[in-house]
Amino acid sequence: MKEQTSMDKLIVGCGYLGRRVARAWMAEGDRVFALTRSAANAADLQAMGVIPIIGDICQPESLSDLPGVNTVLFAVGYDRGSGKSQREVYVDGLKAVLQIVGPGSARSCQRFLYVSSSSVYGQSEGEWVDESSITEPVQPGGVCCLEAEQLVFSSFAAHGSANVLRLSGIYGPDRLLSRVATLRAGEPIAGRGDAWLNLIHVDDGVRAIQACEKFGKPRQTYLVSDDAPMMRSEYYEKLADLTGSPTPTFSPETASSRGSGGINKRCLNRRIREELKVVLAYPSISVGLPHAIGTSVDSNLRPSVG
């Protein structure tokens, strides 16, 4: 057996998804750095075995300590409490990071993985979409993600290797609290129940990122979603059943804050299965939601008894 060579890797955006990627990489023997804005988060990361670097992508002068590494994962989520716009975070923040670790810099990485979103698709009639589909986003987050994707590929046009991973909605343990609270309170769910919903279990998102780093073709985009898009009504009915909540109702006239308003498409994951050889552990919510509920550390997600 060929001995695996450990590598240095940097995660920018080491949150719900990023921390799981960090653990997976460390399990393979890699040394993992992570950028964080918070000293408290830095302590948590250090306790995990990650090497923390305190800095803020929206403050380029704070990024001087970013290391030279083999692989960079940019998986930054939007914090509504940051006081920054989505463009400042997704586009300007990305530019600041690429100034340090992008091609032509003294600390240029060999591989750059950008976590984007399926919100770059604006289809609204239930169409199937894949990596070749037209991207005409209708929401600000999708517009910014598409601009960031273009920035990544233009930056790595001549040197290095970059990939974009468009993730559907991420779910998993400890990420269902607000949805369950809404269901248990009997409150109508904003948006349509008869619109398609596309999801990916967080653990399968990690598998896709690992596979993309190892097998992804240069300058390719990969749509990361499970095998079975479902109606929003089906998803919430399943979640209600698992948590002992009332049957969900919907308020189509109320705009959804979760990004589903007006978007209605089905994501096809053929490329990650055929090209990256990703085998999903949770190909549908039928297996994914029971796992997410069953492994949650918050007992409030579990059905009440008695």
**Residue 294: what pLDDT?**
86
Please write the tens of the pLDDT for every residue from 85-113.
999 999 999 999 999 999 999 999 999 99
Q: Which residues make beta-bridge pairs with 33?
A: 10, 51
**Residue 127: what pLDDT?**
96
**Residue 299: what pLDDT?**
47
Segments of the chain with pLDDT less than 70: 1-4, 256-262, 296-306
**Residue 82: what pLDDT?**
83
**Residue 275: what pLDDT?**
97
CB atoms within 10 A of CB 88: 15
**Residue 81: what pLDDT?**
81
**Residue 296: what pLDDT?**
64
